[in-house]
Amino acid sequence: MTTTLIPNEINVNDRVRFYSEAFPKYAPLHIFNGSIYGEWRLGQNFKNTSDYWGAYPEQYLPRATSLFPEKKEVLHLFSGKTPPGDYLRMDKNPANGSEIVGDAEKLSSYAKIYKPGGFDIIYADCPYTKEDADHYGYCMISRPKVLRECWQSLIPGGHVVWLDQVVPQWSNDDWFLEGIIYMFISSNRRVRAVSIFKKVVV
Ligand SMILES: C[S@@+](CC[C@H](N)C(=O)[O-])C[C@H]1O[C@@H](n2cnc3c(N)ncnc32)[C@H](O)[C@@H]1O
């Protein structure tokens, strides 16, 4: 049977169900006060074949994208060595081969050109510290500035899935914090937070 997904009707209950259907053997995500919460222990499944500094663990994107099967207009921001696919990638370093080469702090001016109708979802994986930013040869970003640029580049009801060591500062006027999932890779590695923001439109 084919199910037609209507984006505006999808809620957090559907999202945790999508995740459990995709990963029936993993601990389920939960809902409290209308938000998703949970933990992803990559553990023995941890694998990273990319030697790029700060690359996603291979388990991350399959899990994160399983929550949002209806999203069509997708941007990977701070895309690094994310392989090409049915989405756009944006990174400041031209050597990484992304479709959009530019500064995330100016994202909305690029979005107007590359996706004038707006993105449905943005997956972001910024440098976490000044030391990380130094590895790439760039200044550390302003998280609030980039989050604001994401807001301007999304359709109403669009999402940002932001992987970081912190939950970036957000405004309740702009965003509903629809979920936080803690990601634990293995001992002595950084614990990260996957923050899920939904664009609020008044
Ligand atoms: C943590 S890495 C992302 C790695 C990526 N998830 C992967 O799997 O390869 C951060 C990326 O942000 C890029 N970057 C740093 N500052 C940036 C900025 N101001 N605008 C856009 N990209 C930036 C770096 O070039 C680097 O590729």
Give the mean pLDDT of 124-149. 97
Check pLDDT > 60 for residue 126: yes
Answer whether residue 5 is part of any domain. no
Q: DSSP label at 9?
A: G
Nearest atom of ligand 1 to the alpha carbon of 133: 15
Q: Measured from the CB, is residue 128 less than 6 Å from ligand 1?
A: no
Give the relative orientation of helices 107-114 and 143-153 as an angle to the nearest 10 degrees: 20
Which residue, judged by its Cα, is nearest atom 8 of ligand 1? 55
Tokens 């663990």, residue located: 57
Q: Measured from the CB, is residue 81 less than 6 Å from ligand 1?
A: yes
Residue environment code for 64-77, b if the CB has 16+ CB neighbours within 10 A, otherwise e: bbebbeebebbbbb
What pLDDT does 124 receive?
98
Give the mean pLDDT of 167-173. 96
Rounded to the nearest angstrom, the distance between the alpha carbon of 128 and the centre of ligand 1 is 10
Give the whole-angstrom CA distance, residue 71 versus residue 8.
11
Tokens 């923050």, residue located: 195
Answer whether residue 73 is part of any domain. yes
Rounded to the nearest angstrom, the distance between the alpha carbon of 32 and the centre of ligand 1 is 32
Give the whole-angstrom CA distance, residue 144 versus residue 171.
9
Residue 67 and residue 15 in contact, taking contact as beta carbons nearer than 8 Å: yes
- HSE, side-chain direction, 13 A CA sphere, residue 73: 16
Give the mean pLDDT of 53-67. 93
Q: How many domains does the chain have?
A: 1
Answer whether residue 1 is part of any domain. no
Q: Where residue 142 sits, what CATH number does that domain have?
A: 3.40.50
Domain boundaries, position 116: 10-199
Answer whether residue 2 is part of any domain. no
